[in-house]
Structure 1
Amino acid sequence: LAEGFEAALPAPMRESAKRARQLVTGNLQGSGTLFEELGFEYIGPINGHDMGQLLPVLRAARARATGPVLIHCCTVKGKGYAHAENSADKYHGVSKFDVESGTQAKSKPNAPSYTKVFGDALTEEAARDPNIVGVTAAMPGGTGIDILADRFPSRVFDVGIAEQHAVTFSAAMAASGLKPFCAIYSTFLQRGYDQVVHDVALQNLPVRFAIDRAGLVGADGATHAGAFDVGYLTALPNMTVMAASDEAELKHMVATAVAHDSGPIAFRYPRGSGNGVEMPERGEVLEIGKGRVLQEGTDVAFLSFGAHLAEVEAAARLLEKDGVSVTIADARFAKPLDIDLIVKLARTHEALITVEQGSRGGFGAMVLHELADCGALDRGLKIRTMTLPDRFIDQASPDEMYADAGMTRFDLYKMAVSLTSSDGKVVPLSKGA
C-alpha cells in the first residue's frame, strides 16, 4: 500500500517518501546505510586501535574519495591503560602520574578549589531552598555539580554534551518557578550562546549561570581558556554579570544568584585553588551593581574584576615601596557597573587601570564606555585596560600563560609606573625583575 502511494507521488517527492519509509520500517532493501542515504561514502566500522587496519583505510579514503567520506572507527578511551579505561572523567589532560597506581602527582593546595567551593556553597543553599536545581552538560565533576548530585540526586540534570539544550532546559525550569544553576565551562557556554540570547535574556528568565574555567586554565590550553564570556554576556540586555575575586567572594555570589529572581545572572570563577582567605559560614547577598574598595590611595587606582585581584595587590605592594599611593577596588560586577565608584576613582586619581582575566571588549570596554558617556575622560584622565591580548595563548602553566599575556604583577607595576607623573618619585624595577 505504501509503495503504491509512493508511486503516485510527483517525482521530486517520490524518492524522499521512499527513504522515509525505509528508515522508519528498517527495511532498506539493499540500500546503503543512513550515512550513504545522506550522501556520504561510508567505511566501517573498523577497529580504531588496529593501525594495520586503520592506516590503509585512511590512505584509500584520501586517494579515492570523490565526495564526503565518513570513516566509522570504534575506540576505547585510554585503550591499553586500565586506570584510564575505567575512569570516565580523568586522564584527558594529565600532570605527572605514577604508572602503576595511576595516581596523578599534583601539589597539595593550601586552599580549596573554586570548583569545590561552588559545589559546597550550592549544596548548602539547596538544603535551604527546595527550588534550587543543577544542570550541567556532561561535566558534573568538572563543575562541582556532582557535590549537589551526591546529596540531592533528583535535583541534578546532566544533559550530556548538549550545552544548547542545557541552557534552554534551564530557561524552561526558570519559567516554571524553579531556580536552575546552569554550570558550564566558559569556553563551552559559547556553544549555547544563541540559546542564552533568545531563550534566556530575551525572555528575562532567572537562569543562574555558573561559569567555571574563567581565564587561562593551563594544561587544557587555548581550547579551554575562558577569555570571552564577559564580553559576550555583558552585551545582552537583562543580564547581570559577576566575577569572584577569591573563594569567599564566590560563596557570596552563589548566595546572590539564589536571591536574584528578576532576570538572568552569571558569575565566573577560575580553575584551581583559591587564595586561602577566611571563609564565611554562609554567603551574603551582595547589592547588585556595587563594588568594594579594599584600600585607598591617591596616585593610581586599580579597578579589578575577578580573580586577578591577588596579582593587583602584589603589584600595589611593589608600587608602595617606590612611594606610589595606590587604591585597590574590586568591581564585583561588570554589569551593571558601579558607576558611582568608577567615576569617583576617575576624578580622584591621576591614573586608573582596569584589570580582568578576559579578552578585549569585556569589563574594561564597559568601563571606558561609561566614563566616556559621563564625561569623565574629558579632563585628561590617564586610563588603561589590562586584558588578555588579541591572540590565543599557547598551552603552558597558568602562571606562564599569564606571563605570556603580559598580565603578571610586574606588568601591572610597569603599567602604573608609565602612567605616574615623572617627578622623580618613582624608580622602576630593573628589567630583570
Structure 2
Amino acid sequence: MLIEPGKLLATVNNPDDLKKLDQTQLVQLCEELRNFIIDNVSVYGGHFGASLGVVELTVALHYIFNTPKDQLVWDVGHQAYGHKILTGRRDIFHSNRMYKGMSGFPKMKESEYDAFGVGHSSTSISAALGMAVASKYKGDEEKQHIAVIGDGAMTGGLAFEGMNHAGVSNSNLLIILNDNCMSIDPNVGALKDYLTDITTSHTYNKMKDEVWNVLGKISKFGPNAREIISKVENSIKSFLLSQSNMFESLNLRYFGPVDGHDVNHLVSILDDLKDIKGPKILHCITRKGKGYGPSENGNQTTWHAPGKFDKLTGEIRKKVHDTPQPPKYQDVFGHTLVELAENNQKIMGITPAMPSGSSMNIMMKAMPDRAFDVGIAEQHAVTFSAGLATQGLIPFCNIYSSFMQRAYDQVIHDVCIQDLAVNFFLDRAGFAGADGPTHHGAYDIGYMRCIPNMIVAAPMNEAELRNLMYTSQLPRKGQAFTIRYPRGQGVMPEWRTPMEEVKIGTGRKIKDGEDIAILTIGHIGNYAVEACEKLAKKDLNPAHYDMRFVKPLDEEMLHEVFANYKKVITIEDGCLMGGFGSAVLEFMAENNYSAQVKRLGIPDAIIEHGEQIELQKECGFDPEGIEKAVIALTEPAMAKS
C-alpha cells in the first residue's frame, strides 16, 4: 500500500522544486507533508512525534538555503523524515527502517542532502562547525552550515563543547535550537528550566520583537549603527532576564524565541539570518507531534515511536496473543530493580535520558529519591555512579549498549582504574533492529572484557537476569560488573522466579552431547536450544554450554569442553573481533588445546537496519544458521548436499 502525496507535495522532488512555489503556498505544503508522514508511519511504523514538530522548520530551511551546497545537520535524526521526503526520497519513504530499505536517520551514503550521519545525539554543532571551518579555510565563505539540535540533545556535553569552540571560531554557523521540552522522555535539568525562563518571559519577548524589527532593517544603517544596535540588544537581554544569556556569553548571537510552527515567519527570519556572518543561534519553540491530536496532546513518550496505529482513532495497534507472552528484558530489569532496592537501601538507579526505554521509570516512580535521569549525558551518568560508589552506595547504571560507547573513558578512568563496584546494565545489546548501525549494541563484549577490574556477563533468560542482578548487589571487593541483554522479549512468561546468587565466573551445562560442543553467551543461547532440537531429528547431538560470563570465563568448564570435544562452535550477538569467541580461542591457545573452532557472531562489517531476526540470519547466527554450522562442522558432505 503506497501512500499518495498531496497535490503540492507531489510536485516537490527536491529543494529546487520547493523554491518554485510561491511563499503563500508553503502553509498548504506543510499540511500535506505532515499528513504524508502521519499516513506512512500509521501504516508502516517508525519514529513519529519529532518529525511532525519540525515540518514548518524543515520547509523553511530548504526554501531559503541552497541545499545540498549549504549543509544541514539534524540532531537527532528522528527529526529528519520531512527532510528526507523533500530531498528525493518521497517515493521510497514507505521502506523507511525496513530491511534493505531507507534508513530512519540521515545517512551520508544515502543522499548528498544528508550532510552528516546522526543516530546518537549532541553531535550536530561540532560536525557543522567542522564543515564551516573547512569552508572558511577553502575560501568558500558564502557557504552556509546549519545545525538543527533538539533541546534534549543540547543537554549532552558534546553540544556545549561545540558551542564553546564555535563562539571563538568566527565561522559561518547557524545553530537552530528546536525547543519542545522533550527528547524521548520529558527533558530534565537546569538547561530545561533556563530555556523555559527565556520562553515565558513576556517582557523580554515583547522587547525582543521590537529589537528584531530594527535589526531586520539593519542594511539601511552604517557600520556604527550596527554596533550601537548590537549593544542595545545585548543590554536588553541581560536586563530583562534574571541571568545573562548563556548563549550570548559563549559569543553566539542569540535570536528568539520564535514560533517554530509559523512557516512564513521562519522563512523571513532565516532569510535575514543567512546574511549575518559568524556563529549564531535561533531559538525555535515547537511542539512534538504537532498537527496530530493524539500525539500532540497525549503521552508524547508513547508517540515518539508508537509503531503502527489507526490514523482516525489514534489507537496504537498491538498484537493480540492467545497465550501469556514473555516480558521485555527491560521490564524484567525495571521490576527486579525495585524488588532488590526494597531490601537493600544502598541501591541507586541511574539512566541518561532513557527512563522509559530502560524501564528505570519504574524505580523513579516507586523511589524518586533513589533513581535519577541525568539527561543525555552518558559520561556524567558513569562518573556520577562512580561518585555514589565511593560513598558505599550501589549504583545500577542502565545505559544502552551503543550509548555506553560515549562514556568509555569514564568507565576506564573513573570506575575501573579506581576499582569501584559500579553495576552497568547494557540494554539493547546485540542488534537493535530498525534503528540500524548507530544503535546496534555490537561492541560491548569486546570493549568491556579488555578492561581490568571488570566482570562481564549476559543472561540467557529472564531468571538468569534476575539472578545476575541479585548477585551484582551483593558485597564484593571492587570490580565493576557489566550485564548485557537484548532489545525485546525474553522466553519466560512466568518470569518472577526466586532470585539466587550466581558464583561469578561460572557457566552451566544445558545438555550433554557427542562430537561437537556449542558455547553460547546470553539470550542467543535460546537459538542454540532451538537448533539442537532440530538437529536431534537428524541424529546429531551437540553438547550445549551456557557460559554466562565472558569475564572471568568458567575455566573449569572450558577444560571439560576441550578435553572432550575436538569441534567447538561459539555463538554471540556481538562483534567477533575481540569478543566471546576470541576469549575462548585465547583460552584454548594458552592451555595448549587443539580443536576446530567455528565462531558465529557479528562480522567485521557495518550491518545495516532491519528486524533483529533478519540481521541475525544475514550474519549466520539465527537458529537455521546455527543448525547449518553444526552440520558443516560435523558432516561436511551432508552440508554440501
Shift of 1:70: 4.2
**What residue is the counterpart of 1:73 in the other structure?**
284
Q: Residues 114 and 31 of structure 1: is their aligned pair in 2 closer, same or farther, counting only changes over 3 Å?
A: same
- Aligned-residue offset at 1:306: 0.7
* Range moving further from structure 2, 193-202 or 46-55: 46-55
Distance (whole Å) between structure 2 residues aligned to residue 67 and residue 372 of structure 1? 59
Q: 1:337 aligns with which of 539, 553, 563?
A: 553
Shift of 1:206: 0.7
1:169 and 2:381 are equivalent in the alignment:
no
2:418 to 179, 203, 207: 203
- Tell me if structure 2 keeps the 8 A contact 1:246–1:277: no
1:306-325 equivalence runs, <5 A: 306-325=522-541
Matched, 1:399 2:616: no
Match in the other structure for 1:285: 501
Instruction: Please state if 1:116 is matched with 2:368.
Output: no
Give, in whole Å, the separation in 1 of the partners of 2:512 and 2:369: 48
Give the 3 Å change call, closer, same or farther, for CA 31–269 of structure 1 in structure 2. Answer: same
Question: Residues of 2 paired with 1:35 and 1:279: CA distance?
Answer: 50
Corresponding position of 2:407: 192
Matches within 5 A, 1:176-325: 176-262=391-477, 263-276=479-492, 278-279=494-495, 281-325=497-541
The CA distance in 2 between the partners of 1:125 and 1:75, in whole Å, is 40
CA gap of 1:139–1:298, structure 2 versus 1, over 3 A, is: same
Whether contact under 8 Å (2:463, 2:497) holds in the other structure is: no
Q: Secondary structure at the match of 1:384?
A: strand
- Which one is further off, 360-369 or 130-139? 360-369
Q: Report deviation, 1:172.
A: 0.9
Distance 2:260 2:561 in 1: 60
Matched, 1:93 2:305: yes
Q: Which residue of 2 aligns with 1:416?
A: 630
* Separation in structure 1 between the aligned mates of residue 581 and residue 361 of structure 2, nearest angstrom: 34
One-letter identity of the residue aligned with 1:374: N
Residues 252 and 279 in structure 2, CA contact (< 8 A), matched pair in contact too:
yes
Given the alignment, which residue of 345, 353, 360 partners 2:569? 353
Q: State the distance in 2 between where 1:87 and 1:291 align.
A: 43
Mapping for residues 123-162 of structure 1, pairs under 5 Å: 123-162=338-377
Quote the offset at 1:372 in angstroms.
1.5
| 1:417 to partner: Cα distance | 1.8
Cα distance in structure 2, aligned partners of 1:359 and 1:297: 27
Secondary structure of the residue that 1:223 maps to in structure 2? coil
Given that 2:534 and 2:627 are in contact with CA atoms closer than 8 Å, whether structure 1 keeps it comes out as: yes
Question: Secondary structure at the residue paired with 2:437?
Answer: helix
Gaps of 5+ in 1: 1-15, 17-27
Q: Distance in 1 between matches of 2:598 and 2:270?
A: 52
**1:339-366 C-alpha deviation (Å, 9 max, x unpaired):** 2212321231131111111112221122
Judge conservation of contact 2:416–2:480 (CA < 8 Å) in 1.
yes
Cα distance, 1:261 vs. partner? 2.8
Cα 1:218/1:102, change in 2 over 3 Å = farther
Work out the CA distance in 1 between the residues paired with 2:562 and 2:640.
26
Shift of 1:31: 7.0
Give SS of 1:233's match: helix
Sort the Cα spacing of 1:260 and 1:403 in 2 relative to 1 into closer, same or farther, 3 A. Answer: farther
* 1-structure distance, mates of 2:452, 2:271: 51
The SS at the match of 1:375 is coil
Q: 1:391 to 1:56 in 2, by over 3 A?
A: farther
TM-score by structure 1 length?
0.84
**Same amino acid, percent of matched pairs:** 40
Distance between the aligned counterparts of 2:559 and 2:497, measured in 1? 34
Question: Structure 2, unaligned stretches of length 5 or more?
Answer: 1-167, 169-229, 235-244
Q: Distance in 1 between matches of 2:579 and 2:270?
A: 44
After superposing the two structures, state which structure 1 stretch, 102-111 or 205-214, moved more.
Answer: 102-111
Cα separation, 2, equivalents of 1:172 and 1:34: 28
Encode CA deviations 1:235-290: one digit per residue, 9 max, x unaligned: 11000011011111111111011115322101111121111265353211100001
Distance (Å, rounded) in 2 between the aligned partners of 1:407 and 1:56: 54
Which structure has more helix as a fraction of its residues? Answer: 2
Assess, with a 3 A threshold, how the Cα gap between structure 1 residues 125 and 299 changes in structure 2: closer, same or farther. Answer: same
Q: Is the 8 A contact 2:289 2:300 kept in 1?
A: no
Alignment partners' CA distance in 1, 2:305 and 2:494? 31
Other-structure match for 2:604: 390
**Residues in 1 aligned to 2:603 and 2:273: alpha-carbon distance in whole angstroms:** 40
What are the superposed Cα offsets for residues 362-392 of structure 1, whole Å, 9 maximum, x if unpaired? Answer: 211222222211112xx3x110111112233
